[in-house]
Amino acid sequence: MRQIILDTETTGLNARTGDRIIEIGCVELVNRRLTGKNLHFYVNPERDSDPGALAVHGLTTEFLSDKPKFAEVANEILDFVTGADIIIHNAPFDIGFLDAELSSLGKPPFREHCAEIIDTLVQAKQIFPGKRNSLDALCERFGISNAHRTLHGALLDSELLAEVYLAMTRGQDSLVIDMLGETATAGDVAAPRVQIETLVLPVIAASAEEHAAHDAVLDGIDKSLKGTSVWRTQPAAEEAKSAETAAATQSA
């Protein structure tokens, strides 16, 4: 499974009124693991940034004047993202700018080049309703250091968002995805299939030390969430249900 974390910086807030992309950063994940293969461009927008936007990203017209125009890097960007799931924080903003740039070059919309668009802002609002869900807020919530983020930068923000996304979606589902992502290599010998129902599986109870280690991991998750994780609430509910069932059986 190939995923690309993507972020852009722009001259302003509205692509429809002529604002342009000035920086794009992409970070690659394969089977939920950072590969170190990234893509990053500063782009000459052929116009000045709005004062408010300049205060956010700090990329001056002078600095960008000798950088490639979007038309010069568009194909390399599309080649990098083609077929991958794209992960963006507040996706409509970045997609709107990418679509405007591609449209000016006579190219199809960005969504037609990739598999799926995943908006981490939408995910965060579902997980933490009513709370601040900016990238900075999520970094703080998950204990991810962003002390070096004095100004917004597309590649830096993509790297931070990659960490946030992995932290926000970790758990049993991610472990299953990791396992499914592993593929056999040439020369592997197929193992014989086993009839599971014929096996007598031993039940090995956790030791006191293992229980303590498990509780320590859950304490860490609770701290990062600033709440109680499902791994604490769900077992408690199941134990209460089991106790009720046992009591009903004894009374019968």
Instruction: Please name every residue paired with 33 in a beta bridge, in sequence order, or none if there are none.
Output: 30
155 neighbors 25 (Cβ within 8 angstroms): yes
* Cβ burial 101-122 (10 Å sphere, 16+ → b, else e): bbeeeebeebeebbbebbbbbe
Phi, psi torsion values for 10, nearest 5 degrees: -135, 165
Residue 32 has which token pair? Answer: 């939920």
Judge whether 57 counts as a catalytic residue.
Answer: no
Give the type of residue at 174.
S
CA distances from 182 to 32, 176, 191 (A): 11, 10, 15
Q: Which residues contact 128 (CB under 8 A, 6 or more apart)?
A: 141
Dist CA 190 CA 207 (whole Å):
35
Dist CA 69 CA 11 (whole Å):
14
Strand-pair category, 117-119 with 2-10: unpaired
32 neighbors 174 (Cβ within 8 angstroms): yes
Catalytic residue among 57, 148, 152, 214: 152
Catalytic residues: 152
